[in-house]
Structure 1
């Protein structure tokens, strides 16, 4: 069972939990047993101490009674009176043997030993006996008993007075604390009893008698040596732990000492509970095994459906939605399985729908661009596998379809595209050919295994078919098309390259109106040149190669300089001067014109601010293109420029052509409204050359109208041009606009415009477009025509 699997984790969790719980219970019970056992042992030791003390007292009373019996014997007292040593010694020995005394002495009242059963009484025994006699005599007692150390043994000695009727002597009897006594104690209390003695001047204990085995008794001597105080203690003997209580028995003034060690084995006390512990351990083991089995079953019951879900998820990830999932359970896992099955079904439906959306054109039902690329890729692979294999593709774009959409509506256009798709499908000449709609009014035809001649024949056949008008919704529509052709392997070896090159051929056919164009590498050179030009334009902007040129604008009645129109010129480091006609149309097509407009606006604003600081107030005009008017961020950019240079928007005029306005009137008017609201003056440039509606122009926030130079330049010779100019001036004034004439190239035209009431003019007669430095020089040198001065004097 692998540990990283969920089943293994569940089993492991159950086992760990039950083991932890059982171990906690086992430790708690074991600790409680040990604590209770020690508490019980402590109680037993306290009781045992009392019992042992009582045994010693009873033994002492027994000895005392035996000694009193001897002291009351008449014959013994008579022997003492006659000082019969032999009789005294014999009586002491015989009586001592009867009562179990191991020694006997007769001590006179003066403290001398008159008789003894020992040939050489121990000095310690003599001293202890005399002290006991003196103590009994002092207390006027009928006898006394005491425990003393004699040699390496503990004795109980008793002293009894012999009276006739006064005390004439003392009988001292000694009884050793022997094994019988400790065995009795062991039998009564189940405690181990050991009598230990220590001689004067010696630190070590000596074992007198003990219920322990001899090796254990020797170990006890070392343990007790570390326990100096009386009372309870814990001892470690031969690997067994004992709870002990040390009872002092004798303490002589000369340093002799005797103690009784009462001890109880903790192991023995706990032994009755070991069976309970074994049972508990067995229950723990059985519980762990049972938990392992139960958890394994439960884990398998949980993880089996999860594995099924994982398998289904893997199949779903691989795109296989065919196999259903059924989990017959009523719990959360069953509901999860049901939800998963619902998800599988929904994903399968959406996948099918997405597949159709991704690979099929929804309008015509034809393959779309993505599916066509796949079909082309397969055709290339098939062609590459056979010697001389080839395939060609046709791409076509309908003519005048945009006008159909604008005039007849998009719904009509959609129906028209469906008709075109049906007609193209019906015009296929080769088996295996496929028609696809790439988007808009673009269609493509795949011709696998067809050579170039066959592709040209198919293209010609399609063009002829499209020459027949299409009838739809009681409308007859004439359509044409431009068709491009490219083939494998002549024009490319990948689908992306072929699609790119056939599109180039198609746009060339559209531009030339030649019907069918086969791809030629020369076509791409112009595209590469365009890309190169775009790169050069960007570098020119970065290197500040664009120059600001100005053409003066003058007030026609007074001849004063009113302002200038800002024009751009390109000074290429290698090609030299490049006219605007060579790059402005391309910049407008690519969108680069927006960056160029911002650049020129920056230059004009900088110049205007510089001249204003010098006291020269001129109004500069900047041209805006169609791309500029569609840029919704343009007003914000212009506002930032004038603010940066400390100008007001009224210092600048923005010129817009009619065609730029009419390309997208709504967006253009939105941009113009925002610029006018900011304070910029707006002018319609090249008026008269476009197709703008006067009603629409009336709504524009413009202040100036510029008549195109094509009407102004020859108005002195052409009466029709003069009439157009006069009408335009009147129209502008009636609309409340200032009128500016472009193309003033002679004094005669100047005076004609002045007579017609034109406000301002610009042209080569006043000044050609010139660099800023040259313009400033011209500004200092300009003088109005003499005829104008004379006419003014006459008027005065």
Structure 2
């Protein structure tokens, strides 16, 4: 009989309980964290044992992969702890898999089902089949990575539903005047146990699982909500603000490839009433390289709607120059790796100078990221870089702190502070 207990992270199966039976529809596969399971064909004359599975292995994946009923039953030989992998989680990953690999996987599954069918026709097969040994410990790293990904994916989904994500804002400054020009909106995850989690820890999992669309939808909605508040704050300090503030928000290659992305942008503008020219869509070169044609189409739609398009980490990809001729770029952002070594490495300085000259010829403004020292800002200003961003001018901060930054921004104080740093 079934006697399962399921929590957010674990399915607990007491010894002797069935996890599922042959013929049932497959709604999940299971990573085995602890305990031992038996895969078998139930027969009145005696069960046919197909395999034993233990920690570091998976059961129930076949019915998810080929969307057919369970081919065998599984029960717990001892108290077992499992982590479920849902059909939705696997479907997204299979869709992203190379088609030849998918075809090979289909052949393997079909051969397995043919073997199971032959076993079902066997007569007098009451004695168990040889049971394969458990996998060696060499797979522990792979299993741990898969387990961590699944748990994190589930926590992200829960975090979106529970409102754990928030946007922080980092100042972008007009270098020549030190006036405040805008902000980059950066996502943070206020996890109930882990604290404030940076994007590098959760964005890759969100992209691989298909959850990135939910996060981007949240980010765009927040940007539309807060931009009027930032603009209002600028009205209280016009002398130190470089014209209307702009706001940059990051999107992923998955977002650009989604058919719903243009409508998402259109809804943002119509529902919030913000001026499209005050918003920039920011995307990295590495993500553009995955599907440049689709990216160009999506970004062209953003430009038609009046939004700016910023290429982040410019200079780190392999096709930087080609993007400038095929994409509707309005801003380039020089990667912080070049800025960090600008004062001590002649190669970095030449690369930055080359980018600035090229951008000047194309009339595209440049933002230098990762500025931490006044000497870096001064040199970039002399080289003709329009904008700067980095800890020298401010850390990413919640909305309330960003509004306070706008109201209290003072060009003279900032210049003196930079010289003293």
- Shared fold (TM-score, shorter chain, > 0.5): yes
Q: State the 1:662 CA deviation.
A: 1.0
CA–CA separation in structure 1 for the residues paired with 2:177 and 2:110: 71
1:747 corresponding residue in structure 2: 374
- From the superposition, tell whether residues 690 and 366 of structure 1 become closer, same or farther in structure 2 (CA, over 3 Å): closer
Which protein has the larger Cα radius of gyration, Structure 1 or Structure 2?
1
Q: State the 1:615 CA deviation.
A: 5.4
CA–CA separation in structure 2 for the residues paired with 1:642 and 1:701: 19
1:586 corresponding residue in structure 2: 205
SS at match of 2:395: coil
Asked whether 1:530 is paired with 2:149, we answer yes
1:389 corresponding residue in structure 2: 129
- From the superposition, tell whether residues 384 and 620 of structure 1 become closer, same or farther in structure 2 (CA, over 3 Å): farther
CA–CA separation in structure 2 for the residues paired with 1:366 and 1:745: 51
CA–CA separation in structure 2 for the residues paired with 1:658 and 1:581: 16
- From the superposition, tell whether residues 521 and 677 of structure 1 become closer, same or farther in structure 2 (CA, over 3 Å): same
Q: Which has the higher helix share?
A: 1
Note if contact 1:684-1:706 (Cα within 8 Å) is conserved in structure 2.
Answer: yes
Note if contact 1:661-1:668 (Cα within 8 Å) is conserved in structure 2.
Answer: yes
Q: State the 1:555 CA deviation.
A: 0.3
CA–CA separation in structure 2 for the residues paired with 1:521 and 1:386: 34
In structure 1, the gaps of 5 or more residues are 1-360, 391-487, 492-504, 506-516, 790-796
Aligned 1:724-743 pairs, distance under 5 A? 724-743=351-370
1:371 corresponding residue in structure 2: 110
Asked whether 1:619 is paired with 2:255, we answer no
Pick the aligned partner of 2:179 from 538, 560, 569: 560
Pick the aligned partner of 1:540 from 159, 163, 182: 159
TM-score by length of 2: 0.66
Say how many residue pairs are matched: 306
Please give the per-residue CA displacement for 1:287-318, whole angstroms capped at 9, x wherever unaligned.
xxxxxxxxxxxxxxxxxxxxxxxxxxxxxxxx
SS at match of 1:569: strand
CA–CA separation in structure 1 for the residues paired with 2:343 and 2:273: 44
Q: State the 1:520 CA deviation.
A: 5.1
CA–CA separation in structure 1 for the residues paired with 2:380 and 2:123: 72
- From the superposition, tell whether residues 693 and 745 of structure 1 become closer, same or farther in structure 2 (CA, over 3 Å): closer
In structure 2, the gaps of 5 or more residues are 1-99, 236-243, 417-421
Note if contact 2:314-2:320 (Cα within 8 Å) is conserved in structure 1.
Answer: no
2:321 corresponding residue in structure 1: 694
SS at match of 1:767: coil
Pick the aligned partner of 2:302 from 667, 675, 680: 675
Q: State the 1:375 CA deviation.
A: 3.4
CA–CA separation in structure 2 for the residues paired with 1:369 and 1:561: 60
CA–CA separation in structure 1 for the residues paired with 2:369 and 2:234: 27
Q: State the 1:591 CA deviation.
A: 1.7
TM-score by length of 1: 0.36
1:330 corresponding residue in structure 2: none
SS at match of 1:770: coil
Greater RCO, CA 8 A, separation 6+: 2
Pick the aligned partner of 2:223 from 587, 598, 604: 604
Pick the aligned partner of 2:170 from 533, 536, 551: 551
- From the superposition, tell whether residues 383 and 728 of structure 1 become closer, same or farther in structure 2 (CA, over 3 Å): farther
Please give the per-residue CA displacement for 1:550-587, whole angstroms capped at 9, x wherever unaligned.
11000000111000000011111233222222111111
- From the superposition, tell whether residues 600 and 377 of structure 1 become closer, same or farther in structure 2 (CA, over 3 Å): same
CA–CA separation in structure 2 for the residues paired with 1:750 and 1:766: 10
2:279 corresponding residue in structure 1: 652
